[in-house]
Structure 1
Amino acid sequence: MKTILCLLLFIPFLQPQDSLRIDTSTINYYKLSFIGTATLGGFIYGQALQKNLWWKGEKSPFHFNWKEDWAYALGADKFGHFYFPMLATNIYSDAFVWSGINKEQSLLYGGITALTYQSFTEIKDGFSKQWGFSWGDFSANALGSAYPFLQYKFPQLKNFNLKISFFPSERFKHGSNKVIFDDYESTYHWLSISIANYLPEKIRKYYPNFLNVAVGHSVKGFDTNSGHREIFFSLDLKTDELPGNTSFLKFIKKYLNFYHFPMPAVKVYPNVVWYGLKF
């Protein structure tokens, strides 16, 4: 069933079968075997970790989480369910290209790989009495897995990228979570926009390409009656536009660009606060 769901999701983006047929003469099967082994090891480790963090509680027949789906963490978890499959798709795509598969196919198969893992996790949630299968999570997973492929097919989408940053909240400092990645109050999601590409030509030639603008989101007190969202506007560093053209530096710059580094910002909701540097 997981495989069917993954394939159905990507059907609208598929090209004629011949164009997706892999040219096996270019594939390095040693590299591809390494990718497969690393994926299996990561899957086993990830499932063991999630079992300890999320699936310790009472089991139940498979069910859907309709009532609490968007109430949990005020919906902030959906950003994470988009972000991490998007990141995984990029990683798998680069790995598949490294093994000799062309770029378009690598993005497609990378997205399917990322979504398959996330779908398995959602199905496991469906058998947990505490959680249940979340259509909201699954939809965000699917969109995140597909987004790099969509950016390849529609280049204008490359001007819009989701980033993440972390800064310890008071809740986290008092031991609410073992790791900061699981604390939504410590997590900030940013939509980074390559504003230089939308400026008039007379201005664009003077504007630094490495400087984006971003809209940020976080939540505070979401497990209390006074829970609220926070909205920010910020400058953002586009690291892939920084100097350095070697293959190694391009690789480093690409993946640094998934993180929002501290920059001047202003919180505009629920109150106004100016930050010299917002982490």
Structure 2
Amino acid sequence: MKTAFILAFGLLFHFQISAQILNNYTESDSSRIDGLKLGIIGGVTLGAFTYVHAIQNHIWWKGEKSEFHFEWNNDWKYSLGADKVGHFFFSYAIADIYYQTLKYSGIGHKDSRLYSTILSAAYQTYTEIKDGFSKKWGFSWGDFGANTLGTLYPLLQDQCDFFQNVNFKISFEKSQRFEAGSHNYIFDDYESTYHWMTINLCNLFPDEYQNFFTRFINLAVGHSVKGLDNSGRANHEFFIGIDWNIESLPGDSDILKLLKSIINKYHLPAPAVKVYPGIIWYGLKF
């Protein structure tokens, strides 16, 4: 009973925050919806959900089951918190990509933002509940909080222009332990995963100085972890580099905007320097 009460309270808290922010988005837009495009989006969504769910079940949920429980002991230790950054990113990416996808189908701005937020929040919450019935994992309030922040970040960007210049990306480069067979899927290996915060410096300067910059090149701050083999030598890695802003490239058709938005969630190889631990320069950092 106590577990059910805490879970219900957490879910109510999540959606109450969303509802408050989405209050200004609930007006219906007068838009022409393309039934074919919307049908294709629905079909792709169903297929993607089935495929991703199968992978998640294989990686995380096929082990021993348990009664619903919370994870308190190892939640912030086993990946040095890199999993929380990942939860934030994927919730943010799902919400933003679905917003662009629904707009492409002809749904208006407000409704697209509403539905994409609900889709992201619902799937990520479902994932956490499934974790709660896994003996190995358990429901993580840290993951839940990161999911909430990631889902709501596109709404913050709508409300505050400054945050439109701060976006998040991901990239992968095989780690030594991944190449040794530690994981079946690279996105499950946090040593192979790099999360990036990108900043559009051009837009942050006064108008008279913007001609000296290009919107195609952004500043990037990256993070990864190494040494997650229980040897006691686990550490964070931080990077500073540049990032290619794909959305700044020419092409204003609906389909090109959608494709550029999707591609722009991945940090393409670019010059960078590792600033911690130690200094290492990369001509191209993947």
TM-score, normalising length from structure 1?
0.90
Q: Which residue of 1 aligns with 2:20?
A: 12
Q: Which residue of 2 aligns with 1:83?
A: 89
Does the 8 A contact of 1:219 with 1:228 survive in 2?
yes
Are the structure 2 counterparts of residues 246 and 207 from structure 1 closer, same or farther at C-alpha, using a change threshold of 3 Å?
same
Q: 1:58 aligns with which of 60, 64, 72?
A: 64
Q: Which residue of 1 aligns with 2:169?
A: 163
Offset at residue 29 of structure 1 (A): 5.0
Partner SS, residue 251 of structure 2: coil
Counterpart amino acid of 1:9? I
C-alpha deviations, 1:187-217, integer Å up to 9, x for none? 1111101111223545421111211111110
C-alpha deviations, 1:117-140, integer Å up to 9, x for none? 111110010011100001111111
Where in structure 2 are the equivalents of 1:1-279 lying within 5 Å? Answer: 4=12, 7-15=15-23, 20-22=26-28, 26-28=32-34, 31-224=37-230, 225-279=232-286
Structure 1 residue runs of 5 or longer lacking an equivalent are: none
Offset at residue 234 of structure 1 (A): 0.5
Offset at residue 71 of structure 1 (A): 0.8
Does the 8 A contact of 2:100 with 2:258 survive in 1?
no
Distance in 1 (alpha carbons) for counterparts of 2:35 and 2:283: 50
Comparing 91-100 with 144-153, which one deviates more in the overlay? 91-100
Distance in 2 (alpha carbons) for counterparts of 1:163 and 1:127: 30
Are the structure 2 counterparts of residues 82 and 61 from structure 1 closer, same or farther at C-alpha, using a change threshold of 3 Å?
same
Distance in 1 (alpha carbons) for counterparts of 2:256 and 2:98: 19
Distance in 2 (alpha carbons) for counterparts of 1:97 and 1:14: 17
Offset at residue 244 of structure 1 (A): 3.2
Counterpart amino acid of 2:282? Y
C-alpha deviations, 1:225-270, integer Å up to 9, x for none? 1010001111111111123334443333222211111211111111
Are the structure 2 counterparts of residues 166 and 85 from structure 1 closer, same or farther at C-alpha, using a change threshold of 3 Å?
same
CA RMSD of aligned residues (A): 2.2
Identity of aligned residues (%): 49
Give the total of aligned pairs: 277
Offset at residue 62 of structure 1 (A): 0.8
Distance in 2 (alpha carbons) for counterparts of 1:238 and 1:261: 9
